[in-house]
Amino acid sequence: MPKPLPERLGSLTLVQQLGVGKNCQIWEATDQAGGRCVVKAVVPEMATDAGLRQLFEHELKVATSLDHPTIIRIHRFSEEGGLPHLVMELFPHPNLKKRIQAGTNLLLPKLQRIVTELALALDHVHARGWVHRDIKPENILVGDDGQVKLIDFAIAAKASGLLGKLLGGKTPPQGSPSYMSPEQIRGQALDARSDIYSFGCVLFELLAGRPPYTASDTNELLNKHVSAIVPAADKFNSNITPTASKYIRTLLAKKPADRPKSMQEVLAQLRSIRLVESLS
């Protein structure tokens, strides 16, 4: 059974658990120095893992190079009782995956804001020289009014696609299988167009209620991203306009050269087309 985190980490008091991963836990907390916040802490069993510490320090480095209202703020990296942890802004709303599971029709009134703010967040990330590499609904927090906060920069990399010494020279491709670009799967150098592919996967799911590809195992899923015909989103939801469905297929082009070159280009296009036939 996993060891529990202590109730206190220095000036922080853990209030309620918000999420859990293989190597970390996410908690809402109160900070004597500054009110409510979120704590991302390494689980006690992995507290001495140097690689995890490096990832936390890397995530802080990326986040502090960013400054945009659609991106979660990370305040500091600390260690108390031998537990490395990040302290970040609290945005007390569900992620987009949970919103989609509750019903895509509920998202229609705020659809344009969600899409626009996610595009603005990615444009800012790319302008600062980073590729997020893990764009997925679980990493997008969405408020009741459609406000977006992009989170989790643990595997973000410079536009060359390399994390250098942090992850070593030759490592398996990292990311989430349902949203990875073909070049990410192949372990090739990445630029903004890889995130644009992942953005296309998220937009597909936001409109169709499911990711573009599903499979019985991870290898089959990755192979579909690399070689399967790009599906039409409007086949899964007749409310999606043909124009939007066609544009999503452009975002999901197998070759980076066949996708839009930047999120600014994507944003301009999305502002010029209607995504759904009806908002009711």
Q: Work out how many domains the chain is built from and give that number.
A: 2
Residue 254's CATH number: 1.10.510.10
Percentage of the chain beyond pLDDT 70 is: 95
> Per-residue pLDDT tens for 206-224?
999 999 999 999 999 999 9
- Where is 54: in which H helix or E strand? helix 50-64
Host domain of residue 51: 8-88
Same domain, 171 and 221: yes
Same domain, 196 and 66: no
Residue 162 has pLDDT above 50, yes or no: no
What number of residues does the chain have? 280
Residue 64's CATH number: 3.30.200.20
**Of 61, 88, 115, which closes a domain?**
88
pLDDT at 5: 86
pLDDT at 116: 97
Q: What is the mean pLDDT of the chain?
A: 92
Same domain, 67 and 105: no
The residue-averaged pLDDT of 152-164 equals 75
Determine if residue 43 is left, alpha or beta; phi over 0 gives left, psi from -120 to 50 gives alpha, anything else beta.
beta
Confidence of residue 160 (pLDDT cuts 50, 70, 90): low
Those residues whose C-beta lies under 8 Å from the C-beta of residue 212, and which sit 6 or more positions away, are 200, 201, 204, 205, 230, 231, 233, 252
- Dihedral sign computed on CA atoms, order 88, 89, 90, 96: negative
Q: Which single residue is written with the structure tokens 């953005």? A: 199
> Per-residue pLDDT tens for 100-123?
999 999 999 999 999 999 999 999
Residue 167 has pLDDT above 50, yes or no: no
131 φ/ψ angles, rounded to the nearest 5 degrees: -115, 125
Percentage of the chain beyond pLDDT 90 is: 83
Whether residue 250 contacts residue 216, with contact meaning beta carbons closer than 8 Å, is answered with no
Same domain, 69 and 108: no
Same domain, 129 and 51: no
Q: Which amino acid is at 166?
A: L
Residue 18 lies in a domain: yes
Active centre residues (catalytic): 134
Whether residue 54 contacts residue 166, with contact meaning beta carbons closer than 8 Å, is answered with yes
Of 92 and 2, more confident? 92
